[in-house]
Amino acid sequence: MKLDSMYQDIILDHYKHPHGRGLRDGDAEVHHVNPTCGDEITLRVKLDGNVLADVSYEGQGCSISQASASVLNDLLVGKELGEAQQIQEAFLELMQSKGQMEGDEEVLEDAIAFAGVSKYPARVKCALLSWMAWKDATAQALAGAPVKESA
Amino acid sequence: MIPTSRTLDVDAIRKDFPVLSRILPNGKPLVYLDNAATSQKPRQVLDALTAYYELHNANVHRGVHTLAEEATALYEGARDAVASFINAPSRDEVVFTKNASESLNLVANMLGWAEEPYKVDADSEIVITEMEHHSNIVPWQLLAQRTGAKLKWFGLTDDGRLDLSHIDEIITEKTKVVSFVLVSNILGTVNPVEAIVRRAQDVGALVVIDASQAAPHMVLDVQALEADFVAFTGHKMLAPTGIGVLWGRQELLEDLPPFLGGGEMIETVSMQSSTYAPAPHKFEAGTPPIAQAVGLGAAIEYLNGVGMDAIWAHEHRITEYALQRLQEVPDLRIIGPTTAEDRAAAISFTLGDIHPHDVGQVLDEQGIAVRVGHHCARPVCLRYGIPATTRASFYLYSTEAEVDALIDGLHHVRAFFG
Ligand SMILES: Cc1ncc(COP(=O)(O)O)c(C=O)c1O
């Protein structure tokens, strides 16, 4: 059934038991909303030099947006920024593939479960909400970083 | 003899709507419960559109040839149809716009540019309600920001009705305009017009009514409402998209300034200045949505043929049944009045912790079309502390079997996310 291709068990697991949820210390904080449906996320990024020390978040939204934030936390925390960016780009490409890609499990791990979501244009934004927030927060943290180093 | 109330022959009505017999790509028959967003269109309206383009297409009010005269007659005929549908004292009080949003923006702009006594300025107050569609919030926010006027609003009670307990403090001598929704698109509430109009008239404020969710479903009588302006939108009442209506009292339409300038709305033009055509043309700059107006005329003819009383009665029955059945679903919370009194056929609800997106997705898999989100009424969601709702909304072609399908679907949703 088509529904199962969207709501993979991995997604439902992340939704019911989110990883890394809750707001913790960070270098930058952003608040993103999906204006068409009201999904919201507040997300903080903590950098340790070139390494993404933490991504913490709080939000409300559907299973897809919440599970996606949980997967993001799993995948990106502890990675070097360059690698994290590559993962983000791979995820973005997968979500924009309209069901045409399966995703590289080596890079995306659990996130390949979202391949099915890419067939539903209305839900792609849900899946991308936290990833766009992360990109924005990271840019802000980096922009703020020199100030901190010189302090 | 006691007259028997007319009941609808829903089976026959459904046959007039081609899309209602559609089988979706997943093999499921369509159960269309998103009528508050837009209605489906009967064959009669589609035929009127085709006939207009195949036989009569021309620009209006500006040609002497046969087609131009036919197109003008059809377009102006639609205005007559609207005028009698809403019991307007004069056809010249019916302004065609592209939708309700444009109608409401038009009023806000008329008042922003008006002279005294209508002028909205820094000493003025504008009153709306917390249950407005964004289309009846944002134009007034813009007007308030541009003029320095103060925006005030009525709050809501826990059971989804307007809280009028402080009406005398909210509508005051400073109030220039009160704009409110007759039927809420998210809560389904039918608002008590009379109490608000009384108070507005006492202080000399203009009354604007957003009848977008009323015109499709009930008898709309602008004289009985005693409002100054009434706005609604064609696509929710069987007509095509791209056509809306602003009804306004004649003396106001004469006194208030135009907003958009262009062809059709003028009397004479020189390089220095222009004089304007009388209302309604003063407010219809440029080539209007001609075919869409003709479609609206055909939609009104269809609705009149069925009877607005009969439509209201049918939807009332469906609403009662749906409210009762929905409340049998565990963890389901209705956002809005839980009984069918003073209530229309849009029903919003939450289902435990399951997000409305997920509810809507699983229902879609079963062929059931509902709307999920904040329904362009985000303040209502904030008021009730919820991120969004699922909304089922019914119309003249809705059936009890469709309500049953919805209930089965919701049980399936619970099982899926349980
Ligand atoms: C109560 C209400 N007002 C205004 C509107 C706006 O209608 P439109 O989008 O056609 O301008 C809607 C429709 O969504 C509505 O339900």
H/E run at residue B231 = strand B229-233
Q: What is the pLDDT of residues B196-230, one digit of tens each?
A: 999 999 999 999 999 999 999 999 999 999 999 99
Whose tokens are 């909210």? That residue is B170
CA distance to partner chain A, nearest, from residue B117 (Å)? 38
Whether the predicted pLDDT of A117 surpasses 90: yes
Report the alpha-carbon distance of residue A39 to residue A61 in Å, rounded.
4
- Note whether A63 contacts B: Cβ–Cβ < 8 A: yes
In this structure, the number of other CB atoms found within 10 A of the CB of residue B368 comes to 25
Per-residue pLDDT band for B193 (boundaries 50, 70, 90) equals very high
Q: Cβ of A41 under 8 Å from any chain B Cβ?
A: no
What per-residue confidence (pLDDT) applies to B5? 53
Q: Which of B104, B212, B218, B375 to mutate to test the pocket of ligand 1 (most atoms within 8 A of CB)?
A: B212
Residue A61, phi-psi category: left (phi > 0), alpha (psi -120 to 50), beta (remainder): left
Which whole number is the average pLDDT over A103-124?
Answer: 92
Query: A123–B357: do the CB atoms touch at under 8 Å?
Result: yes
Burial class (CB in 10 A: 0-12, 13-18, 19+), B181: buried
State mean pLDDT over A87-103.
94
Interface check B381 vs A, CB under 8 A: yes
Q: What is the mean pLDDT of residues B170-181?
A: 98
pLDDT tens, position by position, B75-114: 999 999 999 999 999 999 999 999 999 999 999 999 999 9
Whether this model's ipTM surpasses 0.85 comes out as no
**Whole-angstrom distance, CA of residue B316 vs CA of residue B339:** 10
Q: List all residues 6 or more positions away from A8 whose beta carbon is below 8 Å from its beta carbon.
A: A113, A116
CB B110 within 8 A of CB B136: no
Considering chain A, what is the average pLDDT of its residues?
91
Could you report the per-residue pLDDT of A52-76, keeping only the tens digit for each? 999 999 998 999 999 999 999 999 9
The reply to whether residue B365 touches residue A61, judged by beta carbons under 8 angstroms, is no
Q: What is the mean pLDDT of residues A5-14?
A: 90
Reading the block at residue B303, the tokens are 């609705």
Q: Could you give the dihedral angle defined by the CA atoms of residues B225, B228, B134 and B399, in that order, rounded to the nearest 10 degrees?
A: 30
Say yes or no for a CB contact (<8 Å) between B361 and A36. Answer: no
**Rounded distance, CA B391 to CA B218, Å?**
20
- Residue that the structure tokens 């963890």 belong to: B331
Cβ-based neighbours of B408, under 8 Å, separated by 6 or more: B366
Per residue in B363-392, pLDDT tens? 999 999 999 988 889 899 999 999 899 999
CA B33 – CA B377 distance, rounded (Å): 19
Q: Which residues of B187-213 are buried (b: 16+ CB within 10 A; e: fewer)?
A: bbbbbebeebbebbeebebbbbbbbbb
End-to-end CA distance of chain B: 56
> Which atom of ligand 1 lies at the shortest distance from residue B184's CA?
1
B391-410: average pLDDT: 98
Interface test with B, best of A2, A3, A6 (most B CBs within 10 A): A3
Q: How many A from CA of B140 to the centre of ligand 1? A: 15
How many angstroms does the Cα of residue B213 sit away from the middle of ligand 1?
8
Tokens of B316: 């009332």
Mutate to test the pocket of ligand 1, among B107, B133, B229, B374 (most ligand atoms within 8 A of CB): B133
pLDDT of residue A139: 96
d(CA B185, nearest CA chain A) in Å: 16
Alpha carbon distance B386, B317 (integer Å): 28
The atom number, within ligand 1, closest to the CA of B102 reads 11
What value does the mean pLDDT of chain B take?
A: 96
Distance CA A2, CA B33 (A): 22
- In this prediction, residues A120-139 reach a mean pLDDT of 94
Helices and strands, number each (H, E), in chain B: 14, 15
pTM of the predicted model as reported, rounded to 2 decimal places? 0.92
Give the Cα separation of B337 and B192 in Å (integer). 14
Residues B197 and B330: their CA atoms lie apart, in Å, by 40
Strands B175-181 and B206-210: parallel
Cβ of A37 within 8 Å of Cβ of B416? The answer is: no
pLDDT range class, residue B127, cuts 50, 70, 90: very high
Catalytic site residue B381? no
CA distance B143 to chain A (A): 23
User: Which residue has the least CA distance to atom 16 on ligand 1?
Assistant: B185
Q: What pLDDT, on a 0 to 100 scale, did the predictor assign at position B387?
A: 87
Residue closest to B216 by CA, chosen among B242, B239, B187, B243: B239
Coil, strand or helix: which one is A51? Answer: strand
Rounded to the nearest 5°, which phi and psi values hold at A46? -120, 120
Counting ligand 1 atoms within 8 A of each CB, the residue from B376, B389, B391 with the most, and so the one to mutate, is B376
Q: Determine the distance in angstroms separating the CA of A12 from the nearest CA of chain B, rounded to an integer.
A: 8
The residue behind tokens 């339409």 is: B253
Q: How confident is the model at residue B239 (pLDDT cuts 50, 70, 90)?
A: very high
Which one has a higher pLDDT value, B62 or B23? Answer: B23
Residue B62: what pLDDT?
80
Give per-residue pLDDT as tens, A34-44: 877 778 999 99
Is residue A145 very low, low, confident or very high in pLDDT (cuts 50, 70, 90)?
low
The reply to whether ligand 1 has any atom less than 6 angstroms from the CB of B179 is no
Could you tell me the CA-to-CA distances from B320 to B33, B182, B220, B347, B394 in Å, in that order? 15, 20, 22, 11, 12
Residue B327: C-alpha distances to residues B105, B345, B350, B386 (Å): 38, 15, 11, 18
pLDDT, mean of residues A81-102: 95
